[in-house]
Chains A and B, each alone.
Chain A
Amino acid sequence: MIVQPVLVVAAALFSLGIYGILVRRNAVMVLLSIELILNSVNINFIMFDTMLADAMMQGQIFTIFIITIAAAEVGIGLAIVLMLFRNRQTANINEFDLMKW
């Protein structure tokens, strides 16, 4: 099992996600970036599970959990973004400063 390339791919994916979260102004893109981060974690899980040949396959089970939760999270996140867009006619995340002091 080649570990290093897979870890590099996962790290790259994670960094891309962080970059996207911090830089993109579109809220949908921010949500997408979060998905990237989650998926990089998934890759790590699968990779270590295979490498260790875990009989209980805990890494894969966790991955399924994460995918499920990610789906739910995206569902709620998109719904919020949709409502914000309807009220504000914009999806720019910088416009959403209702929680300001």
Chain B
Amino acid sequence: MADPRRSRHPVVELTLARFRILVREPEALFWAFVFPILMTVALGIAFRSAPAGVVPVAVVQGARAAHVVAALRHAPSVEVFTIEPAEVHATLRDGLAHLVVEPGTPPAYRYDPTRPENRLARLTVDGALQRAAGRSDLWAARDEPVVVPGGRYVDWLVPGLLGMNIMSTGMWGVGFSVVMQRSRKLLKRLVATPMLRSHYLIALVAARLAFLVLEVGVLVVFARYVFGVPLVGSLGALATVSVVGAMAFGGISLLTASRARTAEGVSGIMNVVQVPMWVCSGVFFASSNFPDAVQPIIQALPLTALIDALRGVMLNGDSLVALRGEIGLLGGWTVASFAVALRIFAWR
């Protein structure tokens, strides 16, 4: 036991207090730890790689239906069943079949050509039916299956969730709690002590980084041991990218919280800041899906840079030098947001 008359350094006490409040808040723990794991499990299972492409195909009942069914039954990786003519639309809409065959000479295919799996079904079925009708293949190519590590959806998803988590924990953990302290007049109470304002801000950052170690560690370890998500790059690179990302969102969070007086007010601002990035920054699907015209904006968003960098480290093994663009962008967001936030921060 230390001398009770001696007191710890204010930065240590402020950091401890903040860290304690964070880990004693069940909701915060849920969003920081449980939610990303649930998302990984749910999406990892839903979008797991299908066992070597089983293609469900429906055949409309009628004169030559039995013939078509027999031909497809011999085709590899096709699962065939028959439906009534009235069921065609419902079958396609609900994804029960990727393609509907209307028997005839020649047969007709009903499918949605904008869906890749439907186009795949058309190729497979057309080949099988033509082969059954007498076409002969020129050769049988040799297939050499290769499993690329990090090529599955879950591998791609986990860095996205990690980035999203660093953003949202940063926003709520830093900004929201500052506004709560302001609205409860605790910030004013602290200003009425000899506390140095710089100590308060250093403690904000220190507690955020301590929490970051836990949240990144838990998700990366879980994803690795349950789903086999790789970490191709170095731990050091992962840590650096995470810290730079957390700092950028810490700054943005402080900026959103620098003036707000109520929990409702800051919640609104934070959603306005976060939602576009959830959608555009490539958490669940590639941000390259958006039109070229908006790409400059999307690429300038901090979450896009953070997720690109995390994917680079985890899936590609990129070095920090290779990621200097993303890291530089996040650093820029950090400096700019802290500079403005400190200038306009309301201490009362």
Partners in one complex: no
B contact residues vs A (CB 8 Å cutoff): none
